Structure 1
Amino acid sequence: MPTAIVFDIGSTLVREDRYWASWADWLEVPRHTLSALVGAVVAQGREDAEAIRLARPGVDVRAERRAREEAGQGERLDEADLYPDVRPALGALRALGIRVVVAGNQTERAGELLRALELPVDEVATSAQWGVAKPDPRFFGHVVDLAEAAPHETVYVGDYPALDIRPAKAAGLLAAHVRRGPWGHLWTHSADAAMADWCVDSLTELARVIGAARSVG
């Protein structure tokens, strides 16, 4: 029976439309061009930052991030970036007595911005904060610690099967695949996605099936 649930961030809780649009504007390339490049590298199983390097060959992505911050065009995150089902679904899960945690591959700044939104969650953590990123097993060791529950009672929820579902299952966790965002749609029929305990199209649906699983348990 699930007693803790841990959510990925990008394309699970947060839309990434504005994030990539802002990068396109910074690089001075058409937004559609960068969006298409992101899709291409994702389809090849490469990290999405490769799209930035393709748009501007030789670019130092970390240096560009610092330059954007200094120019007042750094990371932003507000209510408009959340999927509309996030607050009600997380609130519903907490109402069931489930510990709700957020942990994904993001910067420390992203973690600060998420905390400022005061979501109905118990903890927020990022890979930059921990110094290790998915799919590294050590990331999921931190997830278990933060969940404060046994692995078999902890659900990890994410959109990217290779980074979220497969390593979560390898760590002994339950896993839920949410089919949204480019990764969620592209890899929905992959072997990694098939490892999920639940496949859902929304967090509202997830809250419903987790509630049902707890009632059966």
Structure 2
Amino acid sequence: MAFATKPKFVTFDMNGTLIKFSINDAIRDVLADRLPADIADHYLRACKAYRIDECMGDYKPFHQIIADSMERASRRVGIDYKSADARAVYETVPEWGPYPGVTEALNKLAEAVPLVIITNSDTAHATRLSENLKAPFEAVISAEQMGMYKPRLGAFEYMFDKLGVTPHEIVHVSASPMYDLRPAATLGISNKVYVDRGFEHDEHWLGYERITEIADLPVLFGLQRPAAT
């Protein structure tokens, strides 16, 4: 096992780590030819930047996070914003499914340790998306329940209180240093796993185990041997 002691829980970010975070695809589909090809990438990067900025303030529902970030990005690149577009993007969220191999890895891991989700989704979508994973979870903690979003430190402190654990008693798994692994390190979560899906840079100084395939997660817990190369 990669960790000194068996954790009480393995906690997971969900969207982008377990569930394929398809918001860019949804935005492109909804806006269609109203999003010119020559500014599309710039617009989507702006949406991402504004989403995290919106998450740092007072709590608002996730549909409002999407709407406000799209409105700000639209002003920035000079295209028309329609509230109906943001609502249409939000309504695609429950359809998102897991990355390949996630369900199998989660069920294998659940044989040894309880699994928990801490997600920036609202409660209704968190429940639906966790069901899409087809794996057993001890708890699914939503931003709506926490009253705030990651990467705010209070989100993780809420999780500690809800689970009745110290930072040293969990392993936290995420594909996002920005939203998860930086605040986890700040709060003293020593056991962390970075699922490198290629959309953020490796920040190895945060002190995590890095994997590129979710199938390697049970390997870190000594539940199966590494795949033959």
- The TM-score by the shorter chain falls in which range? 0.7 to 0.9
User: C-alpha distance in 1, partners of 2:163/2:81?
Assistant: 35
Contact 2:74 2:81 in 1 (8 A): no
Determine if contact 2:115/2:139 at 8 Å carries over to the other structure: yes
Partner of 2:14: 9
Deviation (angstroms), 1:3: 2.4
Residue 137 of structure 1 pairs with residue 175 of structure 2: no
Of the two, which has the highest radius of gyration?
A: 2
What are the Cα deviations for residues 109-133 of structure 1, in whole angstroms up to 9, with x where unaligned?
Answer: 3213124334222211221232111
Contact 2:119–2:142 at 8 Å: present in 1 too? yes
Match of 2:88 among 68, 92, 102: 68
- Evaluate the alpha carbon distance shift between residue 38 and residue 194 of structure 1 in structure 2; reply closer, same or farther with a 3 A threshold: farther
1:54 deviates by 6.1
Check the 8 A contact 1:8/1:104 in 2, yes or no: yes
AA partner of residue 152 (structure 1): H
Residue 159 of structure 1 contacts residue 180 of structure 1 at CA under 8 Å; is this kept in 2? yes
What is the aligned partner in structure 2 of residue 100 from structure 1?
115
Contact 1:106/1:127, CA 8 A, preserved across alignment: yes
Q: 1:92 to 1:131 in 2, by over 3 A?
A: same
Task: State TM-score, norm by structure 2.
Answer: 0.71
Query: SS of 2:16's equivalent?
Result: coil
* Cα gap change, 1:10 to 1:143, in 2 (>3 Å): same
**Relative to structure 1, is the Cα distance of residues 86 and 145 closer, same or farther in structure 2, using a 3 angstrom cutoff?**
farther
Aligned partners of 2:26 and 2:37: how far apart in 1?
8
CA distance in 2, matches of 1:26, 1:211: 44
Q: Is the 8 A contact 2:31 2:85 kept in 1?
A: no
Aligned pairs (5 A) from 1:1-217: 1=5, 2-17=7-22, 19-28=23-32, 29=35, 34-35=40-41, 37-39=43-45, 47=52, 52-53=70-71, 56-57=74-75, 63-64=83-84, 67-68=87-88, 74-78=91-95, 81-96=97-112, 98-117=113-132, 118-173=134-189, 174-183=191-200, 187-188=201-202, 190=203, 193-211=204-222
Q: Does the CA-based 8 Å contact 2:19-2:129 persist in structure 1?
A: no
Equivalent residues of 2:50, 2:73 under 8 A apart:
no
Report how many aligned residue pairs link the two structures.
198
Cα distance in 2, alignment partners of residues 168 and 26 from structure 1: 35
Change (3 A) 1:41 1:52: closer
Q: Does structure 2 conserve the Cα–Cα contact (< 8 Å) formed by 1:65 and 1:74?
A: no
Q: Is the contact between residue 108 and residue 218 of structure 2 (CA under 8 Å) also seen in structure 1?
A: yes
Residue 125 of structure 1 aligns with an amino acid whose one-letter code is: I
Alignment RMSD: 3.2
Cα gap change, 1:204/1:170 in structure 2, threshold over 3 Å: closer, same or farther? same
